[in-house]
């Protein structure tokens, strides 16, 4: 490995001069600067991140916290799409991305300590249990963080506009003539809470009566759980004409259950999902859903995190709402009321 010492020897300048020249300091004369750079190139020099980091404390590396309850991990299409976008934008801005886990070298370690250990300049937090004390510890620490789809005090949040999304879906379903709309909502996350709120408020606005039995809890991103909820809904004396699901993925469970009941989508029952994952658009019939802008979400997350890192003093936490787009699909049937 060739170091600045080697360059120093070969070029005859001191290591500090070499360092400064290589970092483009104006302190060094143009000629020497050029010479040093030339020598460095010839010798195949590149800096050692560890040594540099030890002094500067800047790693040019951001961490991502990305662990979901359902263990789907990177197979979670929505989040992996967001993450991919984070990665692309971070790379464009010169940052690498490292996954943060709870252990290091076989020793357990909190998220926060892990980040400090790895000297992450900042952290993107997505798809985790936001009630986890360790997550809270990390967010409240001095390390810049941005969260995706969850709002914390004094922490920049990139939010997919779930309220608006579910609201638009309800409006669309209403416009198609439906008045008996059921909602299966994922439990215990702020994301699904917002979707539920959007559902309620829009129903109220439109004057739709929603019996309690039309609201079923289910686990987020869990087809089985939504399947059970679907069964209950279909067995009601007065079943709904349209069922809204927590997310596209969960809908699959519902779809199977609807098939078992011998019903056809959308002729016998209408359905809508959420997310707009690829799958939803290749199903037959195409699923009516709300597509989240994963690319914008990830990009904004990376950009804002890096801004927070760079302008640490002046940066103020903010919330950024990313809008999505209704994909009508063909799973909601025009109906009379």
Residues that bind DNA (CB under 7 A): 1, 3-5, 12-17, 19-20, 22-23, 27-33, 45-48, 51-52, 54-56
Cα angle for residues 316, 319, 325 (degrees, 5° grid):
150
24 near a second copy, judged by CB under 8 A: no
- Residue 242, H or E segment: strand 242-244
Which entry of DNA, a second copy, none binds 328, CB below 5 to 8 A by partner kind?
none
Complete edge-to-edge strand list for the sheet that includes strand 215-218: 215-218, 181-186, 242-244, 270-272
Contacts of 23 (CB under 8 A, 6+ apart): none
SS3 13: coil
Question: Which of 136, 206, 215, 279 touches a second copy by CB under 8 A?
Answer: 279
Q: In angstroms, what is the minimal distance from the CB of 254 to a second copy?
A: 11
Q: In angstroms, what is the minimal distance from the CB of 169 to a second copy?
A: 21
Q: Restricting to residues 59-78, which ones interact with a second copy according to CB under 8 A?
A: 59-61, 73-75, 77
Task: Tell me how far the alpha carbon of residue 301 is from its chain's centroid.
Answer: 8
Nearer to DNA, 30 or 154 (CB): 30
Task: Residue 294: name the closest of 230, 238, 248 by CA.
Answer: 248
46 near a second copy, judged by CB under 8 A: yes
Q: In angstroms, what is the minimal distance from the CB of 52 to a second copy?
A: 8
Q: In angstroms, what is the minimal distance from the CB of 38 to DNA?
A: 14
Q: In angstroms, what is the minimal distance from the CB of 233 to a second copy?
A: 20
Task: Tell me how far the alpha carbon of residue 25 is from its chain's centroid.
Answer: 38
**CA atoms of 96 and 90, how far apart (whole Å):** 7
Q: Per-residue x/- mask for a second copy, residues 282 to 321, rule CB under 8 A?
A: xxx-------------------------------------
Per-residue CA distances from 28 to 10, 15, 21 (Å): 17, 12, 6
Q: In angstroms, what is the minimal distance from the CB of 25 to DNA?
A: 8
Q: Restricting to residues 89-108, which ones interact with a second copy according to CB under 8 A?
A: 91, 93-94, 96-107
**CA atoms of 169 and 189, how far apart (whole Å):** 20
Are 252 and 230 within 8 A, CB to CB?
Answer: no
Q: What does the binding site for a second copy look like in residue numbers (CB under 8 A)?
A: 1, 46-51, 53-54, 59-61, 73-75, 77, 80-81, 83-84, 87-88, 91, 93-94, 96-107, 109, 113, 116-119, 252, 255, 278-279, 282-284
């Amino acid at each position: 490995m060739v170091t600045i010492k080697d360059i120093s020897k070969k070029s005859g300048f001191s290591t500090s001069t070499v360092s400064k020249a290589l970092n483009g300091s104006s302190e060094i004369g143009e000629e020497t600067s050029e010479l040093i750079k030339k020598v460095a190139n010839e010798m195949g020099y590149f800096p050692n991140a560890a040594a540099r980091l030890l002094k500067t404390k800047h790693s040019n590396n951001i961490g991502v916290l990305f662990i979901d309850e359902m263990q789907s991990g990177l197979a979670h299409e929505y989040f992996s799409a967001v993450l991919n976008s984070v990665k692309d934008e971070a790379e464009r801005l010169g940052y690498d991305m490292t996954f943060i886990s709870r252990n290091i070298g076989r020793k357990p370690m909190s998220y926060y300590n892990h980040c400090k250990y790895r000297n992450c300049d900042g952290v993107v937090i997505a798809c985790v249990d936001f009630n986890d004390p360790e997550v809270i510890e990390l967010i409240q620490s001095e390390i810049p963080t941005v969260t995706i789809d969850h709002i914390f005090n004094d922490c920049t949040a990139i939010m997919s506009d779930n309220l608006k999304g579910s609201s638009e879906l309800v409006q669309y379903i209403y416009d198609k003539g439906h008045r008996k709309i059921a909602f299966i909502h994922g439990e215990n996350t702020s994301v699904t809470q917002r979707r539920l709120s959007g559902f309620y408020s829009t129903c109220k606005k439109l004057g739709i009566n929603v019996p309690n039995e039309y609201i079923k809890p289910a686990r987020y991103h869990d087809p089985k759980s939504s399947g059970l909820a679907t069964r209950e809904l279909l067995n009601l004396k007065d079943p709904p004409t349209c069922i809204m699901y927590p997310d596209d993925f969960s809908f699959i469970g519902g779809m199977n259950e609807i098939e078992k009941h011998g019903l056809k989508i959308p002729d016998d029952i209408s359905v809508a999902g959420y997310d707009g994952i690829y799958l939803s658009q290749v199903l037959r019939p195409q699923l009516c859903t709300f597509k989240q802008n994963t690319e914008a979400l990830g990009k904004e997350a990376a950009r804002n995190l890096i801004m927070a890192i760079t302008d640490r003093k002046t940066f103020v936490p903010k919330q950024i709402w990313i809008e999505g787009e209704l994909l009508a699909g063909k799973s909601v049937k025009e109906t009379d009321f």
